[in-house]
Amino acid sequence: MRGLKGGIPIGLGYLSVSFTFGIMAVSYGFAWWQAVVISMMTLTSAGQLAGIGVMVHPGQYMEMLISQITINLRYSFMSVSLSQKTSPSFRGIKRWLLGFFMTDEIFAVASAEDEVDTKFFLGLSVMPYIGWTLGTLFGSLLGSVLPDMVLNALCLAIYGMFLAIIAPVAKTSKPVLLVVAVAAVLHCVFAFVPVLNQISSGLTVSICAVLAAVLGAILFPVKDEEVTS
Amino acid sequence: MKDFWIYLAILAGSTYLIRAIPFAAFQKKIKSRFARSFLYYIPYTVLAAMTIPAALQATGHIFSAAAGLLVGGLFAFKGKGLTFVAVASCIAALAVELLLKFVFPNVSF
């Protein structure tokens, strides 16, 4: 029940983000139900966006696989990270089933817990999944009626959510503030320096995040209490 | 059409496996202090790298995006929740977009 409630803001955020995905998918030439099926089976933002970009060209299966692996590599780190916080009974088949719901935001909210049990994680996943599916449906059906300006503003929702996840921790922990700044600056370097900006953004996110986290782990190794709490 | 289903299988399958395999495989506590520290920092660095600089290009103008991030960041640091911060970012960005369109329609950026 507490998990279900915790998922409401994520679900609302997803509603607006997947709304944008629905609009884009239709503008790429997909049918509304295709957009919805993609969202229901994949449940990821950046990967789906890159995915429909590849799908418009026929037969580039390898390209699809490589782009998805690089964009989604971050989920592996999150899964390993959260695997350290689960309650003793949350294992085996439960992990195989609920691992599907490991998104950036569900992970972020779950990792703020001391211990994550099956019920909490499942509850936490419900509203985001509904939000992601309905948002895609609405976006693909009626995206064309909204003015560009509103759509533009809605695209910021997901980033606002990211800020709200980072800020409270960065405020109390100097090391977190520093590694976050390093990751952001590094990614700007990758985005704007020639040659480096040719690398796909999914891959550069992973590279910058890993480098910054390694730096943090070397300079400020956490005490055991910090990791478990 | 056949292409769609093959593509979907690759897209959904790879996304699922990359999430589920590590989640199911690491059942024990990791002992290495370095690894634990790395795992402590990684979620925040991922979110930061995803936000900067992409968020600045998410709206029609860099000014509206910057305004949205600034307002969102401010409220986030004040301890407001996810939804509040997300909505505040959107409203700030929309306000700047409106301003740019109706108050300074002749200025190009």
Q: Give the per-residue pLDDT at A227.
A: 46
Higher-scoring residue by pLDDT: A197, B96: B96
In a domain, B24, yes or no: no
Of all residues in chain B, the one with the smallest CA distance to A214 is B38
For residues A155-161, average pLDDT: 82
Q: Give the per-residue pLDDT at A50.
A: 81
For residues A144-153, average pLDDT: 81
Which residue type does A163 have? L
In a domain, B2, yes or no: no
> A43-62 burial by CB neighbour count: b if 16+ within 10 A, else e?
bbbbbbbbbbebbeeeebee
Q: How confident is residue A201, by pLDDT bands cut at 50, 70 and 90?
A: low
User: Quick one: three-class SS letters along A88-117?
Assistant: CCCCCHHHHHHHHHCCHHHHHHHHCCCCEC
In a domain, B5, yes or no: no
Domains of chain A, residue spans: 2-165, 173-229
Q: Give the per-residue pLDDT at B109.
A: 53
Q: Give the per-residue pLDDT at A186.
A: 95
Q: How confident is residue A180, by pLDDT bands cut at 50, 70 and 90?
A: very high
The reply to whether residue B89 touches residue A157, judged by beta carbons under 8 angstroms, is yes
Q: Give the per-residue pLDDT at B64.
A: 94
In total, the C-beta contacts within 8 angstroms joining chain A to chain B are 318
In a domain, B48, yes or no: yes
Which residue type does A92 have? G
Looking at chain A, the whole-number percentage of residues with pLDDT higher than 70 is 96
For the segment A76-134, what is each residue's pLDDT rounded down to a tens digit? 888 998 998 899 999 899 999 999 999 988 998 898 888 999 999 999 999 999 999 99
Q: Give the per-residue pLDDT at A159.
A: 86
- Nearest CA distance, B9 vs chain A (angstrom): 9
In a domain, B82, yes or no: yes
Task: Give A 131-170 residues with CB within 8 A of chain B.
Answer: 148-150, 152-170
Q: How confident is residue A147, by pLDDT bands cut at 50, 70 and 90?
A: confident
Q: Give the per-residue pLDDT at A20.
A: 82
Count how many domains chain B has.
1
User: Measured between CB atoms, does B11 come within 8 Å of chain A?
Assistant: yes
In a domain, B22, yes or no: no
For residues A24-30, average pLDDT: 89
Q: Give the per-residue pLDDT at B84.
A: 87
For chain A, the straight-line distance linking the first and the last C-alpha, in angstroms and rounded, comes to 22
Helices (H), A31-99: 32-42, 46-55, 61-83, 93-98
For the segment B22-60, what is each residue's pLDDT rounded down to a tens digit? 999 988 878 899 988 988 888 788 889 888 888 898 888
Find the CB nearest B18 among A73, A82, A209. Answer: A73
Q: How confident is residue A229, by pLDDT bands cut at 50, 70 and 90?
A: very low
Q: What tokens does A125 get?
A: 């996943």
Q: Give the per-residue pLDDT at B27.
A: 81
In a domain, B108, yes or no: no
B82 vs A contacts (CB less than 8 Å): 9-10, 13, 105, 109, 161, 164-165
- Domain range holding B69? 29-103
